[in-house]
Amino acid sequence: MSGKIEAILMHILTSLKNDVTDYCDIETVDANNSIVMMDGSLGTIVRFNGRKNVLGRSEYSSFIRKLSSSIGVFFKGTGHQIQFIFYKDLDSKALLERAVRSQRVSADRLNLNLEDLIDETVEKNAGYVYLEECYMVFWSRPSLLDPIESKISQDEKNRFRKENNWPSTANAQNLLRPISYLMDRHESFVSKIVSDLSSKQFGCSVEVLNVSNALKEIKRRVYPEYTSDKWKPAIPFQEILTGELNGIPPRWKNNTNDTDKSEILYPNIAGQIMVSTSEIGKRDANRTAYDPLNDPTIIRVGARFYAPLLIKTPPSKEENFANLFASLNGVETRNNNQRKSIPYSVSFMIESDGLGGTAFKSIFANILSITSEINKNINLALKALRERKRDGEVITKLRMSVMTWADWNNAEQLVLRKSKLWKVIEAWGDTSLMEKSGNPMTAFQTNCMGLTTKHIGPACPAPLEEALELMPLTRPASPYINASTIYRSLDGKLMPWEIFSEIQSHWLTLISGKPGSGKSATINSRHIDACLLGGVERIPWLGIIDIGISCEGSTNAISDALPDHLKHLVLYARLQNTESNCINPMDVHLGARYPLPKWREFIVNFITLLITPVERQGKPYEGMTSLVGSIVDEAYKLKDTLEKGQPNTYSEGEDLFVDKAIKEAGLNVVENNTPYYDIVDMLFDKGFIYEAERAQRYAVPRLSDLATVLNTPELQAKFGNFTSENNKILEAFNFGLLTASNEYMIFNSSTKFDIGSARIIALDLQDVVVKGSSPAQQQKTALMYMIARQSFMKKVAFHTDDLPQINSRYLDYYRKLINELIDENKTFCMDEFHNTGGIPQLTDQIFADSRESRKWKMEIILLSQKPEDFGTLSDIATTIIVMDSGTENTRAYLRENISLSPVAESALINHCNGANADGCTFLAMIKTKSGDFTQLFTATLGPKRLWRLSTTAEDRKLRTLLFNQMPRPQAINLLANKFPQGGCKAAVDMLKQNQEKTNKVFNDDEILDSVIEGLANQIIKEHQTLMTSNM
């Protein structure tokens, strides 16, 4: 008897809501994605990340119509509700820290001392990024069921209790609360709308939260300061990926009812979520006007003070959430001595049966219409809505509320924030608001996500399409969920960018932008981030080809961050057209006598371009490619150790590393007699892998061997009489080979250029090409790009598909190598691509590489000045990034060839105008497996990173002068402190103008050098003075 009395008393106390836990109506969970409320309602929480395409007015209207059609079928009867809730908070550091957490872990694992750059990324972006989240809570109420289903369900539960002697559990979750008949309807409701939102047609990024994550987000919204990322609720839930089942935590019995067995089941969810006290404000003459608790409509929950407001009447004019967001973004108050936009949440509840409960209002208005124009208008409005419903339009109940808050150490700002929020909301389509008197905790509950199915805001009937217009569905979203690189939206939303994302079929990225657009800094910053990807076990592979020193900044940053014993993993080199830098295009993999098919394709392409006259702009004579293929095949046969072969033989002194290894291994070698191929095998067998690779270089054919093969009877018989455009192609080949041999010392001999064990390889082609648009310049550039590409690819471009082509002696070696390579990230980047002039052999090679890149786990990145420079490569690119709006011709090209939409073009013109103090905004067109998306991203880099990566002439010169005087990291710190905007050009220009007035005899270059040297000396002197004073 005492137990029953206790239960009755508890029920009465709960209804009075004397405890903070009384404001959470969640009972338990059901299945993987559904929370169960105390009345049996089912709820599923969906994170709405936003729209993955830039949005214009017409696109938004079309989207709302489609969404209304998708949702409308569920709102024609009673029982379904959707809560939309949007949060914008001030403290984004926790959000940013979560985004860079994997970078910190990887940096530590790889011994990369890049903590300063990671810290700077967080600090710099915290000034622009806000914590912004939007959720949809799908509710299915028991009213969906007919009375028979409800009775059957209740009878089944009663029978189960009786047959199993089910105990009472006043302080535990009622695991019998779920209504089985409701689940099918609920799952259909959620899956249909989520599937539509996720489709290419709708273009939204949404994520259904499992019940564990859903409850964590509910708690985080109530107690952000007390909710750890690692917190998990005690619920009957099994992780799908791990199979781990949540255990029941042990508890002491805390009631006197012997029949109550609460302690052996999962504890109440309300007690797990509502973990800290609350306090309602009260008028007190002893409190100041700015004390938030002097206002009876303000509450304290945990360490925050909240001001919840209810919207009495919604916007009367045509409005949307984007306008409200923009208005609130422009309202600022102080937060920890910084001017920041006010934090707020907006809660909307859309319920079915929008005209339910309006019959009395219509009758009453009809009676009073004679004396009241207002009531006549009410009656007419309701009549119009009923007519729209008869025409098939869905009429819903719409309730709305808003809330702002302040942390305990900034509480005096809350009164001001509440006032400003009120004014902005009222200006949003003539909306009217009201405060909740009596118990404002219920208004707080309404403004929180998922705590209750009840929204206490005044209900108004609204056509579904018009209600959806007001929902927070206009925000941008990245197609990516995980962050490898931190970008943001123009108005402060975190926009993650994921390198090697599984949502794409392969990774070919094309980036265009004129000089000064921020292209180089953006890509070189991304190279640094590529070394910090989550889960990497070793420094990733990164190959960079550039004309000039812009890539030196990122390679220096990585090299400086590595300990001395790992610095060899980074190589920056300027190729020279000399024999000492020779790269033999006919090299093959270790242990091979013939190239793999993909390498043969490269060799044939390369030599075909090499011997093609420059005036033909890469177009070979008819039949020439076939001839080159035959010559190449015969050259490898010539150098094989077959009976008729003429293999290259060992010569002492040709390679000192090979000589030393032969002696150490005790090999029986006869000079000028033992084939190099045999030495390769013998050194490999003895474990001298590196030396075997070097010996291989002398075993393979060289360009000079092609002339020998050209005169063989077989080739003469096959091609001797073949002509193209009145030229015998054998003679054309011979002439082209002779010309190339005189022009390109870098290709003439065995390979001497050695990248060793480096994994990050930046090759600067400044000294081997001449920038220009003449056919000769473009062909030379294309050849250098192709040979530099091969230097990197022959280190990493292996796959299990290659194993059948591998010599059995080397199979174990290649199996191990491929096992190591197969899961390692690889990036290959070509900058200044416009200088290659669209030479077909290079374009064909990139096409071929792109087809293979997925299985190599390689991203290929090309950078150029205009989108047109990429030609047909745009057809297979998975990401196209445009850094600036370009000319009308450029935009016409994008419209015609890349389907640039009018709204995307408008965004490009208005927002992509080069780098400034706030960052660099670019338009990205991203192809994924589920559809194509176009979005704006803004990269905001900190001063240290900018000083590392800047390619501005003044910055490079000042940086170099300091690098010559002190360690690079120390110089970067000094520059970042002196010029926190990330560059010195503005200061140099001002000083230069002053000198020009007084130094008439100096030319511009002399004045510039003098100014920058003066700045360098000043920075060094200031640093020395500071160091002396601190001693």
pLDDT score, position 386: 60
Instruction: Quickly state the pLDDT bin for 3 (edges 50, 70, 90).
Output: very low
Instruction: Quickly state the pLDDT bin for 85 (edges 50, 70, 90).
Output: very high
| DSSP conformation letters of 352-366 | S-TTTT-HHHHHHHH
Helix (H, G, I), strand (E, B) or coil at 55: coil
| DSSP conformation letters of 954-1020 | HHHHHHHHHHTTS-HHHHHHHHHHH-TTS--HHHHHHHHHHHHHH-TTS-HHHHHHHHHHHHHHHHH
pLDDT in tens, 152-173: 988 888 888 888 888 887 888 9
Integer Cα distance of 969 and 950 in angstroms: 15
- Rounded to the nearest integer, the mean pLDDT of the chain is 90
Question: What residue type is assigned to position 487 of the chain?
Answer: Y
Distances (CA, A) of 709 to 645, 700, 716, 718, 733: 12, 14, 10, 13, 12
| CA 785 remoteness from chain centre | 29
Instruction: Quickly state the pLDDT bin for 319 (edges 50, 70, 90).
Output: confident
Distances (CA, A) of 417 to 124, 404, 412: 25, 7, 9
The dihedral over CA atoms of 254, 258, 264, 268, expressed in degrees to the nearest 10, equals -50
Q: Are 876 and 906 in contact (CB under 8 A)?
A: no
Q: State yes or no: pLDDT of 459 exceeds 50.
A: yes
Structure letter (DSSP) for residue 684: H
Instruction: Quickly state the pLDDT bin for 518 (edges 50, 70, 90).
Output: very high
Q: State yes or no: pLDDT of 750 exceeds 70.
A: yes
Instruction: Quickly state the pLDDT bin for 384 (edges 50, 70, 90).
Output: low
Q: State yes or no: pLDDT of 602 exceeds 80.
A: yes
Q: State yes or no: pLDDT of 566 exceeds 70.
A: yes
Share of the chain above pLDDT 70, in %: 93
Least confident residue range of 174-178, 336-340, 612-616, 634-638: 336-340
Tokens of 399: 């309730």
Structure letter (DSSP) for residue 833: G
pLDDT score, position 353: 78
| Phi, psi dihedral angles at 687 (to 5 degrees) | 90, 10
Checking DSSP bridges between strand 131-140 and strand 395-407, what pairing results, if any? unpaired
Integer Cα distance of 768 and 832 in angstroms: 14
Instruction: Quickly state the pLDDT bin for 354 (edges 50, 70, 90).
Output: low
For the sheet with 541-546, list strands across it.
Answer: 494-497, 485-488, 931-939, 920-928, 879-882, 508-512, 858-864, 826-830, 541-546, 760-764, 570-574
For 553, residues 6+ apart whose C-beta sits below 8 A from its C-beta are 524, 948, 949, 950, 951
pLDDT in tens, 894-927: 999 999 999 999 999 999 998 888 999 999 999 9
How many CB atoms are located within 10 Å of the residue 632 CB?
Answer: 23
pLDDT score, position 261: 77
Q: Are 958 and 1012 in contact (CB under 8 A)?
A: yes
Least confident residue range of 373-382, 396-405, 1014-1023: 373-382
For 808, residues 6+ apart whose C-beta sits below 8 A from its C-beta are none
Integer Cα distance of 618 and 604 in angstroms: 13
Share of the chain above pLDDT 90, in %: 72
Integer Cα distance of 991 and 1007 in angstroms: 9
pLDDT score, position 9: 47
Q: Are 745 and 578 in contact (CB under 8 A)?
A: yes
pLDDT score, position 544: 97
Instruction: Quickly state the pLDDT bin for 720 (edges 50, 70, 90).
Output: confident
Helix (H, G, I), strand (E, B) or coil at 667: coil
pLDDT score, position 364: 41
Tokens of 503: 């949502």
Mean pLDDT score, 257-262: 76
| Phi, psi dihedral angles at 271 (to 5 degrees) | -70, -25
Helix (H, G, I), strand (E, B) or coil at 401: strand
Q: Are 791 and 799 in contact (CB under 8 A)?
A: no
How much of the chain is helix, strand and coil, in % rounded to 5?
45, 15, 35
pTM of the model: 0.90
pLDDT score, position 2: 46
Q: Taking the CA atoms of the chain, what radius of gyration do you get in angstroms?
A: 36
pLDDT score, position 771: 85
pLDDT score, position 677: 97
- Give the max Cα distance, the chain: 120
Residue the block writes with tokens 């099994």: 238
pLDDT score, position 284: 82
Integer Cα distance of 272 and 265 in angstroms: 14
Structure letter (DSSP) for residue 52: S
Residue the block writes with tokens 């009375």: 147
pLDDT score, position 891: 96
Instruction: Quickly state the pLDDT bin for 505 (edges 50, 70, 90).
Output: very high
Q: State yes or no: pLDDT of 600 exceeds 60.
A: yes
Instruction: Quickly state the pLDDT bin for 931 (edges 50, 70, 90).
Output: confident
Q: State yes or no: pLDDT of 13 exceeds 60.
A: no
Integer Cα distance of 567 and 570 in angstroms: 6
Instruction: Quickly state the pLDDT bin for 598 (edges 50, 70, 90).
Output: very high
Helix (H, G, I), strand (E, B) or coil at 134: strand
Q: State yes or no: pLDDT of 68 exceeds 90.
A: yes
Instruction: Quickly state the pLDDT bin for 387 (edges 50, 70, 90).
Output: low
Integer Cα distance of 297 and 443 in angstroms: 9
Q: State yes or no: pLDDT of 388 exceeds 60.
A: no
Mean pLDDT score, 272-284: 91
According to DSSP, the residues that pair with 386 across neighbouring strands are none
pLDDT in tens, 796-838: 999 999 999 999 999 999 999 999 999 999 999 999 999 999 9
Integer Cα distance of 208 and 187 in angstroms: 12
pLDDT score, position 549: 87
Integer Cα distance of 225 and 93 in angstroms: 13
For 666, residues 6+ apart whose C-beta sits below 8 A from its C-beta are none
From the list 582, 524, 506, 594, the residue with the least C-alpha distance to 790 is 582
pLDDT score, position 381: 55
pLDDT score, position 10: 46
From the list 404, 766, 374, the residue with the least C-alpha distance to 552 is 766
Q: State yes or no: pLDDT of 516 exceeds 90.
A: no
Q: State yes or no: pLDDT of 596 exceeds 50.
A: yes
Tokens of 444: 């707080």
pLDDT score, position 684: 97
Integer Cα distance of 121 and 56 in angstroms: 31
Integer Cα distance of 986 and 998 in angstroms: 19
From the list 782, 754, 758, the residue with the least C-alpha distance to 768 is 782
Integer Cα distance of 512 and 941 in angstroms: 19
Integer Cα distance of 650 and 789 in angstroms: 29
pLDDT score, position 520: 92
According to DSSP, the residues that pair with 140 across neighbouring strands are 42, 80
Residue 780: HSE in the Cβ half-sphere, 13 Å Cα cutoff: 21
From the list 1006, 906, 914, 910, the residue with the least C-alpha distance to 952 is 914
Tokens of 603: 């060799």
Q: State yes or no: pLDDT of 356 exceeds 90.
A: no
Structure letter (DSSP) for residue 913: B
Determine which helix (DSSP H) or strand (DSSP E) holds 882, and give its type and residue range: strand 879-882
pLDDT in tens, 649-671: 999 999 999 999 999 999 999 99
Mean pLDDT score, 426-454: 93
pLDDT in tens, 39-57: 999 999 999 999 999 988 9
Helix (H, G, I), strand (E, B) or coil at 935: strand
From the list 656, 657, 607, the residue with the least C-alpha distance to 628 is 607
Mean pLDDT score, 197-211: 93
Q: State yes or no: pLDDT of 373 exceeds 70.
A: no
Q: State yes or no: pLDDT of 370 exceeds 60.
A: no
